[in-house]
Amino acid sequence: MNIAVDQYVHLASPLHRWEPRCKLIGLMALIFAFSFVGNLSILPAMVAVTAALFIVSKLPVSFMLTRLRYPGFFILAVILILPFISGHTVVLSMGPLDVRQEGLISVLSIATRFLSILTIGLVLFGTTPFLTTIKSMRALGLPSILADMAFLFFRYLFEISDDLRRMQTAMRLRGLSLRRFSIHGLRTLAWLGGSILVRSYERADMVYKAMILRGYGHAGRSQYDLRASSRDLIALGVVLMLAGGFIAGDILA
């Protein structure tokens, strides 16, 4: 599995250096603020702020473009359909289809919001290792059950997907065809899925034993080395005010 989002977490930029909890709170607040904005006049500011943050993060543009591809398809569908069904003011007539103004406007705001939010998301998670993200959330109050599940999920995802690949290869070498559809093929794949579940279930038993052998459940854990300097907090303050500004700006406009 290609975990490409973690590719650039080792670069050095102010965003990489920003304390992870502050970064998480600040940028998520900004993302929510962006999702609130609907007014056309605010959109340029959104784009400007997004671009600025992206530049500061020193993440390569190619990175953003490749990550945009997959989720972009859904938005593309929306962009292609909405102008033809939303609104009443017709601006262009293409035969039986009428392009409506309200639809175009919606499309513009949807696309801008989507791109901005996605980019800020990349800035946030492209500069923070996934594990650090979970640790920060735990430090911010995420229940230990969820945090522990997340750590184990992340840890064993790779092992399990390796298991799957190996089993699929073995099946293919014995004639499983992934091109035709058949009940027999479906049953084989169902057994494959079932085997993955059973193996993981059994492995979990051993993992639990390994955990209690090293004291799982005893007090004294969750010592995370997270310390926010005054610079981190000031940056957080600035970004929160920015988020607030967007919301206020949208309401007032």
Q: Identify residues 69-98 at the interface with other proteins (CB under 8 A).
A: 70-71, 74-75, 78, 82, 85-88
Rounded to a whole number of angstroms, the distance between the first and last alpha carbons of the chain is 45
Does the footprint of other proteins cover residue 174 (CB under 8 A)?
no
Does the footprint of other proteins cover residue 190 (CB under 8 A)?
yes
In the complex with other proteins, the residue whose CB is nearer, 1 or 94, is 1
CA distance 219 to 162: 34
Does the footprint of other proteins cover residue 233 (CB under 8 A)?
no
Q: Which of residues 37-66 bind other proteins (CB under 8 A)?
A: none
Query: How would you class 143 by CB atoms within 10 Å of its CB: exposed for 0-12, middle for 13-18, buried for 19 or more?
Result: exposed
- Residue length of the chain: 253
SS3 category, 59: coil
Does the footprint of other proteins cover residue 172 (CB under 8 A)?
no
Q: Where are the beta strands (DSSP E) in the chain?
A: 90-94, 97-100
Q: Which of residues 150-169 bind other proteins (CB under 8 A)?
A: 150-161, 163-164, 168
Does the footprint of other proteins cover residue 130 (CB under 8 A)?
yes
Q: What is the distance of C-alpha 152 from the center of its chain? A: 19
Task: Tell me the sheet residues that pair with 99.
Answer: 92
Instruction: Please list, in sequence order, all residues whose beta carbon lies within 8 angstroms of the beta carbon of residue 132, skipping any fewer than 6 positions away.
Output: 20
Does the footprint of other proteins cover residue 24 (CB under 8 A)?
no
We find the least distance from the C-beta atom of residue 55 to other proteins, in angstroms, to be 20
Does the footprint of other proteins cover residue 244 (CB under 8 A)?
no
In the complex with other proteins, the residue whose CB is nearer, 31 or 236, is 31
